[in-house]
Amino acid sequence: MNITKEQIDELNAVVKVAITKDDYKDKVENILKDYRKSANIPGFRKGQVPMGLIKKQYGKAVLVDEVNKLLQDNLNKYLTEEKLDVLGNPLPKQQDNFNWDAENLDFEFELGLAPSFEIDLKSKKAITHYQIVADQKMIDEQVERIQKQYGKLVNKTEAGKKDEITGVFKNEEEGIDKKSNLELDQISNKKAIDSLLGKKAGDVVTLKTKGLFKEDHLLANILGIQADKAENLDIEVTFTIEEINEREPAKLDQELFDKLFGKDVVTSKKELEARIKEDSEKQFEQQADQKLLNDVTEYFIENTKFDLPADFLTKWIQSTGEKPLTEEEAKAEYEKSEKGLRYQLIEGKIIKENDIQVQFDELKDFAKGFIKTQMAQFGQMDPKEEELDNIAARVLSNQDEVRRLSEQLMSQKLLKLYKEKANLKTKEVTYENFVKEVYG
């Protein structure tokens, strides 16, 4: 067997594979001998079928199968030994009137080659790294929410602005019949608020759904309907009041602090506010880091210039899809995936040049940290190390989970690299201003 490469240009090449009869003859003959031993052909005893008949019936199929195995094994070996960085997989060139009966068989494969390019982690223009802080307004709102959540309900005879009203919403035409709890400070429509103020249990109020609540998702929840149905819903519903309650805020005392954080962890309102600030900013850090990762990724894609073997990749997409694609469909598919492919190449080069690796012990520790966080959400604050090890072992036995966790850990490592080496400017903002700047 002889394998040679013809370079077409920087991004395209053709590999030629010449196979002689000596490369496959012995293997094919041995397989056919095995076939002869077990063949059941009418008129012949088992094991006594003439070899000529076996070759006639099975010879071509066995030959094709063995040659394809030779091609696959040796082509992959050649690409590895020659250190060819290929995109996609080698594509066999169409050969009309190919003769499988010839002594020598010649094959050609098209290759799409990865481009050469340089990456400079230090961008010319500094990329913003947001540092989101919890301001006093946010802390005060969170304290108020905690007091409200852990407060007690006091029954009232008439509805006031800060009260909670339990009742039944109805509209026969739309099939709405839902008992819900309504807080007056959730309502944005002044006319609706005025119509509820002063009402008592047993009163019936008609409300218009359009623009009723400050937050759009509340309409679907309170009426018990699908979100798409609630969107732009403009009808009238009746609301029959059953109960009116005022939520008396919980006192900021040691009993509440212990309930929230454990015994004597927090002992004053000042410490509560400090804890809220710390916890909030930890959560904000994840959002800021994701924003930074997205921005650095986008910068590299936009500013790292290189060509791709577009024609080859389009052809490769066309030939390897789950269903047959036309040339136009394959081209459209390539255009959709080009940006992602570019970043895969960029990320791969960054990982290689900076020798970033995910070791199994690191992955196991990462999985245990993830498991510990999940357990804490269900009140298991201090799981034993043996328990974490057992759960991590089960998680890491699933290849999909291994891939998912590896990607997350690699993203963390890349983020650490960018924070150390990229040209960043820190911008301190409140969460409210972060949302305005990032999401408009």
The helix/strand/coil state of 191 is helix
Q: Count other Cβ atoms within 10 Å, centred on residue 177.
A: 12
The topology (CATH level 3) of 152-248 is: Chitinase A; domain 3 (3.10.50)
Nearest alpha-carbon partner for 402 in 364, 376, 375, 439: 364
218-234: per-residue pLDDT in tens? 999 999 999 888 888 89
User: Which residues are within 8 A (CB) of 356 and not within 5 positions of it... i.e. 6 or more apart?
Assistant: 350, 410, 413, 414, 417
In whole angstroms, give the CA distance from residue 256 to residue 271: 13
Q: Are 123 and 299 in contact (CB under 8 A)?
A: yes
Q: Are 410 and 358 in contact (CB under 8 A)?
A: yes
Q: Are 194 and 206 in contact (CB under 8 A)?
A: no
Predicted pLDDT at 123: 83
| CATH class belonging to 2-113 | alpha beta
159-204: per-residue pLDDT in tens? 998 899 999 999 999 999 999 999 888 899 899 999 999 999 999 9
* Domain chopping of the chain, boundaries: 2-113, 152-248, 263-306+354-439
Pairing of strands 424-430, 127-133: parallel
In whole angstroms, give the CA distance from residue 42 to residue 245: 91
Nearest alpha-carbon partner for 424 in 283, 304, 285, 289: 289
Which residues in the chain land under pLDDT 50? none
**Model pTM?**
0.73
Q: Are 229 and 220 in contact (CB under 8 A)?
A: yes
In whole angstroms, give the CA distance from residue 83 to residue 292: 34
Predicted pLDDT at 405: 94
